[in-house]
Structures are given as structure tokens and as C-alpha cells.
Amino acid sequence: MTRTTGEDLVCTAGDGVELAVRDFGGDGPAVLLLHGAGRTLLDWERAAPVLAEGHRVLAMDLRGHGRSGDGTKPWTLAAAVDDVTAVLAARGVPDAVVVGHSMGGMIAALCLERNAATPAAVNLDGHGMGRAEQYAGLDPAYVRERLAEARDFAEQSGGRPFAEEALTGVLGYHASMAEQLGIPADLMEAGVRRALQATADGRLFLRPGHGQAVQAQREMAGLDLFALYRRVTRPLLIARALRPNPPVPGMPSWFDEMMAAYTDGLRTDLGELARTYPCVTVAGVDGTHAMLLERPAEVAGLVAGFVATAAGEGGG
């Protein structure tokens, strides 16, 4: 079932959760765009119109995010894949290519395994924190300790309520990041406000709420992406950001060193994957993890080229 509210369509998942969907129109092969953890469909606001010049383009808020519902069950990647399937069926494009950024990219890759109608998928910089052995030049035991700390930090901070007067500081942080990365500040603020919700006592939080944020973090940590990549039998594009992210406030001093080692390890592992698994294509984007807002034309061009190639392979 689909209904309209404001700029969004609302599709209903199998368990009754209402999912916010935006239809960017366009003609051609259908694509569904997914955002990352703690983000919303507005991350695609710059790239989607470029893609719509040659594709039918939809974007959605994942459950627990933006203007989609929470549901009553724990947040799982499997439920997110089911939501994708429900949205595509409701919009009459069950065979759309699924394109995701960050956590959304992991979900897109999972669609290749869990949804027989998905012809191809794109994972844009959805690498999570990986396995200890992927951190080039670092002792795996040391990495495991640090990863536990980083994941604990992510779980402690995700979805926590804050006083209404602190909203100015939250918006200021995002405005500063927008300036560093050359992203329109008003779009960055709109994304924050779309994720904003109030608690019963009047405090604010950025969706998903703390409980679902923890569940999502644990789901990503439990997913062996490279094992998944080796199982896929339909075209998969994996892209990685070629530029480092700005420093994250509150992260320990060793975090940047860890991420540099992980970047080196990913480069090697993804290169080997592309050489040995014909279904997998690997590419780079000349931007940071915020590539959707930072490099929208480059991302749209990369996706469009892959969709055209995948369609040719499917037709052959």
C-alpha cells in the first residue's frame, strides 16, 4: 500500500511499519537509493536528480530513520532488506537496482543474496569497521581492543537525548562540517531536522533512538562483508572514498591511525576481490565518506555507468 503525505510517499512494510519514500521521477532503469546509519533520504537530494536524467529514481528513509516508523521488533539488517522489497513492490519496480551509501550499501549488497528480483547492487563506502586482520601493519590483538573501544563509543553516543538548547550546537557542528566539505549548509541542516525527534519529556534526539542505534551498530559489526561479497552471483559495485574524513570530535587519539591502516587494508582486499570474483567491480570516489553531498555528479555518473553495464550483462 502507498499513500502520499507532503513531499513523501508512505509505503507499508510487511510488519506494518510505515516507510517514507521520495519519488524523483525519471525514465529508464529503476534504482532505489538508501542512506547510511543515522542519516536520511535527503543525503541523496543532490545526486538523485542527476540520476533521474536517465533512470527512474526512488529514495527511502530506512526504518527507525528520518520519517519512517520504528516498528516493535529489534532493528535488523534482514528487516531492512524486507523493507526494500516491500517498497519496490509497492512502487511497481521489484527489479530495481539497489544503491546504498554506508550502512545502506551493506543493505544493498545483502539484497543480492536475499531478494531474487534484485538484478544488481551498489555499495558506496559501506565498509563498517571490518575485521582486525584488515588493518594493514597493525597487530590484530591491538586492533581488536581498539575496535571494541570504538564500537562502545558509537553505541554510547548514538541516539542519545539532549536538551533543546543544545540544538544550536548540533546544527553548528554540521554547518562547520558542511563548510569544510563544500556542502550546502541548508541541505546539511535539513538532514539534521529530518532526523530530529522529541522525547516525552521534551528533550531532542537524532533518529534512530538509542536502542535502535545500538542494534544497528551490532548488526553491522556482525556482518562479514567479504564473505557476503564472495557469495554474490549478480553484479555488485563497491566504491570507496579516496579522501580521509575530517576528525570526529570525542574520538581517541589512536582513531585516525587505525582508520588509515584500515584504508590501506581495504585497498588491498578490495583489489584482490575484484581480480578474483567476476561479479564484483571496485571503484574510487574523489571525496570523503560524505561523498553523496560532496561529489553528487561523480557518484551519479559512477552509478549510471555501472547500471548500464550491469543491464548489458543481464541482457547477454
pLDDT digits (tens, 9 = 90+) for 228-269: 999 999 999 999 999 998 887 777 888 889 999 999 999 999
Q: What is the pLDDT of residue 101?
A: 98
In angstroms, the CA 110 to CA 121 distance is 9
In angstroms, the CA 288 to CA 182 distance is 11
Classify residue 301: in a domain, yes or no.
yes
Rg over alpha carbons for the chain, rounded to the nearest Å, is: 19
DSSP per residue, the chain:
-EEEETTEEEEE-TTS-EEEEEEEE-SSSEEEEE--TT--GGGGTTHHHHHTTTSEEEEEPPTTSTTS---SSPP-HHHHHHHHHHHHHHTT-TTPEEEEETHHHHHHHHHHHH-TT---EEEES--TT--GGGSTTS-HHHHHHHHHHHHHHHHHHTT--B-GGGHHHHHHHHHHHHHHHT--HHHHHHHHHHHEEE-TTS-EEESSPHHHHHHHHHHHHT--HHHHHHH--S-EEEEEESSPPPPPTT--TTHHHHHHHHHHHHHHHHHHHHHH-TTEEEEEESS-TTHHHHSHHHHHHHHHHHHHHHHHHHH-
Classify residue 212: in a domain, yes or no.
no
- Residue keyed to cell 502507498: 2
Residue 315: pLDDT above 50? no
Classify residue 160: in a domain, yes or no.
no
pLDDT digits (tens, 9 = 90+) for 118-176: 999 999 999 999 999 999 999 999 999 999 998 888 888 889 999 999 999 999 999 99
Classify residue 208: in a domain, yes or no.
no
Q: How confident is the model at residue 205 (pLDDT cuts 50, 70, 90)?
A: very high
Classify residue 174: in a domain, yes or no.
no
pLDDT digits (tens, 9 = 90+) for 267-313: 999 999 999 999 999 999 999 999 999 999 999 999 999 999 997 76
Structural domains in the chain (count) = 1
pTM: 0.96
Q: What is the pLDDT of residue 312?
A: 74
pLDDT digits (tens, 9 = 90+) for 41-68: 999 999 999 999 999 999 999 999 999 9
Backbone angles phi, psi at 171, to 5 degrees: -65, -35
Classify residue 107: in a domain, yes or no.
yes
Range of the domain at 6: 2-138+224-315
Q: What CATH number corresponds to the domain at position 301?
A: 3.40.50.1820
Q: What is the amino acid identity at position 285? A: V
Q: How confident is the model at residue 191 (pLDDT cuts 50, 70, 90)?
A: very high
Q: How confident is the model at residue 85 (pLDDT cuts 50, 70, 90)?
A: very high
Residue 187: pLDDT above 90? yes
Q: What is the pLDDT of residue 3?
A: 60
Interval 186-194 mean pLDDT: 97
Classify residue 199: in a domain, yes or no.
no
